[in-house]
Every structure is written in structure tokens, then in C-alpha cells.
Structure 1
Amino acid sequence: MSREAVFAGIRAALNTVPTGGTPMLAPAQPTTQTASLARFIERATLHACTHERIATLDELPSRALAWLESRAPIATLWMAAPLARLPWPDTLTRRCDAARKDTVAAVSLAFAGIAESGTLVMASGPDSPITHNFVPEFHVITLHLADLVANQEAVWARLRALGTLPRALNLVAGPSRTGDVEQTIQIGAHGPRAVHVVLVG
């Protein structure tokens, strides 16, 4: 049976009128954006991410530093280049190059967020070194709500619309972890041991 025939059968079934002549109506659902955000937060929390929401990107420096400094002193912060123009404290050294082995923290900008799985999509490029996703001990990831999509297929559609693909695409679902040693979960084995998502909008 062809794909078109399958979909035609589904559409016909959805339009079926039961005995009595009253059309079958789907139960009321939350708006798509509200439902997607709730699903994303639920899944990200299960992945051991923390999160908070801000209205505008200008709030990011104070909120990100508050979260980071509650975990470690921060004198130098690696970040995505577009975020370096925000009002960070003058005393903070900002770096947009590749993270080093002594990098404690980074603040990144996600290409997209996947509501279905609570996953953050990180596209590599000159403004977002891939090492920021794996080297720092603490990682703050900024996600614009406008970049929240329903599923992974929507991410590929957005990438195709750009016309060019990034050199690498990383899907981040919480802190790094492994259970290789005696099946005991170890956090931070191959990357950050804490991930904080800042939702903008």
C-alpha cells in the first residue's frame, strides 16, 4: 500500500461521523508552543539539566554568572562570540576561542532545542567552537524559545533551509555521564558535570 493511500485512510477515519450524527472531536490541547515548552522542560529535567527563563538576552550575564559562581569562582569565561557583546562585568575575562583543558565554564548559544526529547542542538562554527560542549566542567546553554522545535526532523528541515551544513552537529542531553565502571553512573566523565539551560523569550 502506498504512503498516500495510508494517509488517505487515516484522514477518512478521522472524519468519520459516529452513530447519532455527532462528529468526533479531538480533546482540547494546549497551544503548540506551550505544550512544546512544557515537554522540553520535562525531558531536560529528566536529563539532570537545570533551567531558568529570562525575558531578554541582556539578562543572561547576571543570571549565568549567578549560577556559575554558586559552583566555582569564575574569572575567565569562554562563550559563543555573539554573546560576548552582552553587558558582562568589566572584571570578567571573556574568551571566544576553543576551550582548553583548564577551562572551568562556558556559555553557549543553541542552534535549536528539541521538545520531544529535551535535547539541545549545538552547531559548530567560528562563533561556537565545538570544544565548549565537551571541555568545561560547567556549561550554560542559551536557547531562544523561537528556536524550540517539536522533533529532530524539524531540526534537519531548518538546516536544509540554511543551504549549508555545519561541520559538526552535537545533540546535548544533560551532563556527561557513563556507567562503564561497575555499572555505576559517573557524572562528568567525558564533558560537563552540570548543564544549565537559559530559555530566552
Structure 2
Amino acid sequence: MLAGIRAGMARQADRRRGAPPPAKPIPVIPARATAPGIDVVDLFHRQVLEAKATLEVVASRSDVPAAVARYLTARNAPAQIRLAPDRRIADLPWANAPLLETATGRSHGMDATSVTPAVAAVAETGTLVLQSSAETPTTLHFLPDHHVVVIGRDQIVGTYEQALARIVRDADGGLPRTINFVTGPSRSGDIGKVLLMGAHGPKHLHVILVDEAL
């Protein structure tokens, strides 16, 4: 009993000194993304398709412009695209797809297609984690009909908890003002129980997964 009292007093003293509490394991539900032997890249791919988005895997960053062009051609969409000013997107070799007409910056609602990066991708639900910044304007995430998100293989994590930990780890000068978790294209069945695509954002969500670090 005395040992228990001494341990309790020691914990109180640690709290008074500002010592951080011991780390506790984070319960993850569902556990499908953390089970032994799970391939988070494969799980993410399957969950993206389950959410009615589309996905193409490319070997390298230089393949992204051609992949964007293929996506637009297959859907008979305009060749004009709005790029996030983030270097991971703006510095891609867009000259490799000469039929595309690129502009950079925030969307004012007239763009058919935007191309942006993501902070992370969550395998358990096929979710993209998007943040607001000068380089990744939130308008690009919601105003165009087509949202193309480019991610690197190393950005895929198993759970939301891991994605949030990555945001905190990479925060430089403070957390972003807005973080959005996007799973599939926008849709709603609120009115008359009729599914409406593009209710609150893009009608189409396409993921280009680069099989290397972005």
C-alpha cells in the first residue's frame, strides 16, 4: 500500500514540474489498417475505388502531366487546368503534355479541373488529407468539377491518427488554418433521397499515385 501511495505522490510531483504524461497506445477502430501484414498502399487503392473515386499509378513524377492529360481525354473534359502553386505540382514537367493549358493559383469558380498535392492519404478509408495555405488554396479543393490529387507512395499512412501526427510533425510556424478530409467525390442524397454528385464540391475525384517520394 505504501508503495502505491509513493507512486501516486511521484506522479503528482511530475505533473507539478510539467513532466509530460507517459505515452498511451492509441486505440484504432477499425483496425484493418494496422493489422499485421497489411499493405497500406493496396488498401488505400481499394478504398479509393470503393468511395467512387478513380486512381492511376505512375512510376515517377515526370509521368504525372501525361496522366492528367489521359484522365481529361477519357472524360472529354477541357484541357485547361488550374495548378496549385506548391512546388510539388508547379515544378512538374508540364511541357511533357503540350495539349494541356496550365494556370497557377487559387480558383475563382471558373476552372473545370484543379491539380493539387495532399498532406497525407489514409488507407483505412481511402481518404485524402488536404490543408489550406498560400501554396494549396482551399478553393482548388472544392470549386472545380474535377479535382486531381497527386500523392507519393510515402504519403500513405494507415490511420487518421497517423495522418494527424504527420501534420503536427511537419508543421513549420504553426498548424494550417484548415484541414479537410476528403473521401471520394462530393455527393448528397438529402433532397428526395436522390443521389446528387457534386453537391458540395467536385463531381469527380482522381488520384495519381506516384510510385516514389513526391
Residue 39 of structure 1 is matched in structure 2 by: 43
1:139 pairs, out of 123, 143, 147, with 147
Aligned to 1:86: 92
Q: TM-score of the superposition, structure 1-length normalised? A: 0.80
Q: Give ranges in structure 1 of 5+ residues lacking alignment.
A: 8-27
Deviations 1:121-148, CA, capped at 9 Å, x for gaps: 0111111110111111111111111011
Instruction: For residue 29 of structure 1, report the CA deviation from its aligned partner.
Output: 4.8
Q: Does 1:200 align with 2:210?
A: yes
Letter of the 1:194 partner, please give it: H
Asked if 1:150 corresponds to 2:162, the answer is no
State the distance in 2 between where 1:97 and 1:128 align.
8
Q: Residues 92 and 42 from structure 1, CA distance in 2 versus in 1: closer, same or farther, beyond 3 angstroms?
A: closer
Residue 175 of structure 1 is matched in structure 2 by 185
Establish whether residue 71 from structure 1 lines up as the match of residue 79 from structure 2. Answer: no
1:179-194 matches, cutoff 5 A: 179-194=189-204
Which residue of 2 is the match for residue 107 of structure 1? 115
| Residues 91-140 of structure 1 deviation map (CA, whole Å, 9 limit, x = unaligned) | 54322221122210011111100011110001111111101111111111
2:106 corresponds, among 78, 86, 98, to 98
Secondary structure at 1:166's aligned position in 2?
A: coil
Point out the more displaced range, 70-79 or 190-199: 70-79
Residue matched to 2:61: 57
Aligned-pair CA distance for 1:80: 1.7
In the alignment of these two chains, the number of paired residues is 174
Contact 1:141 1:197 in 2 (8 A): yes
TM-score between both structures, scaled by the size of structure 2: 0.75
The answer as to whether partners of 2:186 and 2:203 remain within 8 angstroms in 1 is yes
Distance 2:49 2:151 in 1: 15
Q: What stretches of structure 1 move > 3 A for 4+ residues in a row?
A: 89-93
Percent of pairs identical after alignment? 32
67 and 145 in structure 1: CA distance in 2 versus 1, 3 angstrom threshold: same
For structure 2, list consecutive stretches of 5 or more residues without a partner in the other structure. 1-21, 26-34
The whole-number CA distance in structure 2 between the counterparts of 1:91 and 1:84 is 17
Q: 2: CA distance between counterparts of 1:192 and 1:72?
A: 16
**Contact 2:69–2:100 (Cα < 8 Å) also in 1:** no
Greater CA drift, 72-81 or 152-161: 72-81
Secondary structure of residue in 2 paired with 1:191: coil
Q: Following TM superposition, by how much is the alpha carbon of 1:60 offset from its aligned partner in structure 2, in angstroms?
A: 0.3
For the 8 Å contact 2:84–2:106, the answer to whether it is kept is no
Judge conservation of contact 1:96–1:127 (CA < 8 Å) in 2.
no
SS of the residue 2:150 aligns to: strand
Q: Distance in 2 between matches of 1:91 and 1:38?
A: 32
